[in-house]
Structure 1
Amino acid sequence: MTDFETKAPGVHLEEIKAVGPIAGAGTSTAALIGTAKKDIPEADLGKPVAVTNWTAYVDRFDGFSEFGAEQPLALPHAVRGFFQNGGTMAYIVPVRDATGLDDALTSLTRTLDVSIVCLPGMTDFAVQKTVIDHCQEMGDRFAVLDGAREAGTPGNTEPLKTQREGLVTDRGFGALYWPWIRISDPGAPADEPARLTVPPSGHIAGVMARSDNERGVHKAPANEPVRGAVDLEVLLSDGEQAQLNNLGINALRIFPGGPPVVWGARALSTNTAWRFVNVRRLMAYISDSLLQGLRWATFEPNNKTLWKKLERTVTEFLTRVWQSGALFGETSAEAFYVKIDEELNPASVRKLGQVFIEIGVAPTTPAEHVVIQLGLWSGGVRVNEG
């Protein structure tokens, strides 16, 4: 406030800070949990460390396992794949094994800018389910998980089906990706090139970050190339993928002349409303943005003036979301609604210090199947085939 004691008596004008628009929450920061090459002191295990590029990871955690290791560490390759594919910010949470997962997830409850959680190479569904439960409880993040590698025997998808049954939920806060990818071994001598098979989750998290930054979180992170991947451990047929897709398992595919691509956008949900990865992540983005952007209203007088401010602020934000293509409708009224009135907030509610806002949105869903109706056409008369 201005010190008016130093001014002459009179009327003074001072600008006040207006309620600003809601800024969209971040969607592309990943947390990657796993074992690093460097021996981490016990006191530092399970604690997130922020890194913004591969060099920063190497400086803090060292690089890959030794060349020729029988079981290369999954975490460093996942981190490198994340940054290769467009990721810009990650939290590395070092653990010795899956027994440290609870401590890691507890630490991540205090790391509020995380929106993607990966557990590279750990495919035990009981362990993975813990990560999905964490994401669901937090409400602002999504689990990107690896399919079981033992499903790599041609035609043997039973391990994947068992894994999926242990992970599927009603609310769909996670997704499963398979098969594992093959990359050029960065530790191999130049005159002895070699390949490694690594889990895809870190690379997929990077694809999500890239898609978010280029198109928006509402765009399904699919039909996107996986940078750094030179091959896949298993090449699926359309029929094999159809079975997996119906189970909500996202395939990586190689089509003639192209690189490995993400070719699925299903979340692990039994509820068709949460079938798609981008719908769940969009709703997490909207809810997180509203939670952050409406803190100014806490402890304000709970009256109609506040309600109007809240309605205007939320409407302005959702209008921007609709204009970005994230919501379906020719008009904003078709795409969303915001309700805050006495029906929702009677005196009994206001006496408890509460104010309720009801919001409905119509998210866009991906065109998972493009159907072409093909027939013969001759002289202006269409001839149907069959």
Structure 2
Amino acid sequence: MTELQTKAPGVYLQEIKTAGPIAGAGTSTAAFIGTVASGSADIKPGKPVLVTNWTTYTQEFGAFKKPLGLPYAVRGFFENGGTLAYVVPVADMSQLGTALEALTHTLDVSIVCLPGQTDFANQATVISHCADMGDRFAVLDGARNPDDARDTGPVHTQRDGLMTDRGFGALYWPWIVINDPESPAGAPERIPVAPSGHIAGVMARSDNQRGVHKAPANEPVRGALDLEYHLNDAEHGVLNGLSINALRTFPGGPPMVWGARALAGDTSWRYVNVRRLVAYISDSLLQGLRWAVFEPNNTALWKALERTVTEFLTRVWQSGALFGRTAAEAFYVKIDEEVNPSSVRDLGQVVIEIGLVPTRPAEQVVIRLGLWSGGGRVSEA
């Protein structure tokens, strides 16, 4: 606040700068790591390059080169509603660590894909990166059986090496079938491609249309003409129990994302949207509360932080992301001497305790059907 210059006695109005509301962090910028067809001379392996559409990608890296998975994934991302992506070119997976290290400096990334790579060791490395960063989520491809595409055994084994307690990744299967963009005009050839890029685009589209709290499922996969394998309900039930997200087709409809489970052993983080919602809230708070750093650590600061955080979480609750008839039922914010004793204050720390009740997807809608003398009655439970 600027000093008020000496004036005649009276009442004066002075404008001061106060902490503004917390703006929500972005959730739909994706990063793709893989091998490209070509590249500009000034592009270094492992260096993230921002692309905003498919044309930009082809100008930087060329188009398709079989059997590469990355170009098809990036094209599918933009086709499904994605708008911003970083491409991290590598010669092979030995450079994965270098690529992920580079992404630690690219702070607006929220989705990470490793298109077409199904080795669980590499995928686990990507999940660990996302967990360490805390603000991003790994979208991974399920493994194919090279001998029999109808065998789900490989994806079961793959999943066992990816489960964690915190659930910073999800696995999608089967692969999708698209028209080969390089096939002759008038005689399109269909080819199977990894689904992760298309799924990342579905997530971006769902985030923009409904919000990150909406499970990115029951959504069509644009550009997908078919699936490499058609699951029945029994097979899907097994995959769902293993937290493997299925892609399904139903009569007369396009391929759909039909699962929203994260690779989490802890049931608190079972659903993709819950994990991504909490990551979004955490990232938004980290960005929106920087003004408080180096302020006097007293009750005035605590009250200002409480007001700012409460206002932001109230907006999150009003968007439908948190469950509760009132804001008080949906979340709480605690900044007092109990969580900030003198031992904590002496370290120069302010602790803010937040509790959330996120909404979870209606994964199973149960219909109770019974008969009575007046006819039939159906009730949803």
CA distance in 1, matches of 2:190, 2:253: 19
Residue among 248, 251, 257 paired with 2:252: 257
**1:88 correspondence with 2:83:** yes
Paired residue secondary structure (1:50): strand
Query: 1:34: which partner in 2?
Result: 34
Q: Per-residue displacement from partner, 1:147-191 (whole Å, max 9, x unpaired)?
A: 002278365222111100100001000000000111111111113
Residue 324 (structure 1) aligned with residue 316 (structure 2): no
1:321–1:327: 8 Å Cα contact kept in structure 2?
Answer: yes
- In the aligned structure 1, how far is the partner of 2:361 from the partner of 2:339? 34
Give a deviation string over 1:213-272, Cα, whole Å, max 9, x none: 000000000000000000111111111111011000000011000000000001001111
Q: Distance in 2 between matches of 1:246 and 1:38?
A: 41
Amino acid at match of 2:103: L
TM-score, scaled relative to structure 1: 0.93
Q: Match of 1:159?
A: 154
Partner of 2:97: 102
Identity of aligned residues (%): 71
1:90-123 Cα offsets, whole Å, 9 max, x none, are: 0000011101100000000011100000000010
**Mapped contact 1:181–1:229 kept (Cα < 8 A):** yes
SS in 1 for 2:145: helix
Q: CA deviation at 1:301?
A: 0.3
Shift of 1:72: 2.6
Contact kept in structure 2, 1:338 and 1:357, CA below 8 Å: yes
In the alignment, what sits opposite 1:62?
A: 62
**What is the CA-CA distance between 1:195 and the residue it aligns to?**
1.2
Could you tell me which residue of structure 1 aligns to residue 274 of structure 2?
Answer: 279
> 2:199 aligned with 1:199, yes or no?
no
Q: 2:68 maps to what in 1?
A: 73
Distance 1:31 1:288 in 2: 17
Given that 2:274 and 2:358 are in contact with CA atoms closer than 8 Å, whether structure 1 keeps it comes out as yes
Where 1:337 maps in the other structure, the secondary structure is strand
- Report the 3-state secondary structure (helix = DSSP H, G, I; strand = E; otherwise coil) of the residue aligned with 1:123: coil
**1:150 maps to 2:140:** no
- Whether the aligned pair in 1 keeps the contact of 2:46 and 2:90 (CA below 8 Å) is yes
Which TM-score applies when normalising by structure 2?
0.95
| Partners of 1:56 and 1:120 in 2: CA distance | 19
The answer to whether the Cα contact below 8 Å between 2:39 and 2:60 also exists between their aligned partners in 1 is no
CA contact (8 A) 2:170 2:262 kept: yes
Is it true that 1:16 corresponds to 2:16 in the alignment? Answer: yes
- Match status 1:118 vs 2:117: no
Say which of 299, 305, 309 aligns to 1:304: 299
Match of 1:182 in 2: 177
Residues 175, 249 of structure 1: 8 Å contact kept: yes
Secondary structure of the residue aligned to 1:229 is: coil
Distance 1:194 1:283, change over 3 A: same
1:1-58 per-residue CA deviation (whole Å, 9 max, x = no partner) reads 9899xx9965875422211000000000000011110056697000101111111111
Question: Which residue in 2 is equivalent to 1:354?
Answer: 349
CA contact (8 A) 1:151 1:158 kept: no
Partner of 1:139: 134
Amino acid in the other structure paired with 2:299:
K
> 1:71-91: CA deviations, max 9, x gaps?
431111100000000001000
RMSD, matched Cα:
2.1
Determine if contact 1:152/1:179 at 8 Å carries over to the other structure.
no
Counterparts in 2 of 1:144 and 1:152: CA distance versus 1, 3 Å? farther
Contact kept? 2:367, 2:378, Cα under 8 Å: no
Preserved CA contact (<8 Å) 1:329 1:335: yes
CA contact (8 A) 2:163 2:265 kept: yes
CA shift for structure 1 position 379: 2.9
2:57 aligned partner, one-letter code: Y
Greater shift, 288-297 or 375-384, is seen at 375-384
Aligned equivalent of 1:335, options 330, 353, 375:
330
- Per the alignment, do residues 202 and 256 of structure 1 end up closer, same or farther by CA in structure 2, a change over 3 Å counting? same
Answer whether contact 2:314 2:327 (CA < 8 A) is retained: yes
Structure 1 residues without counterparts, runs of 5 or longer: 66-70
Cα distance per residue 1:299-334 (max 9 Å; x no partner): 000000000000000000000000000000001111
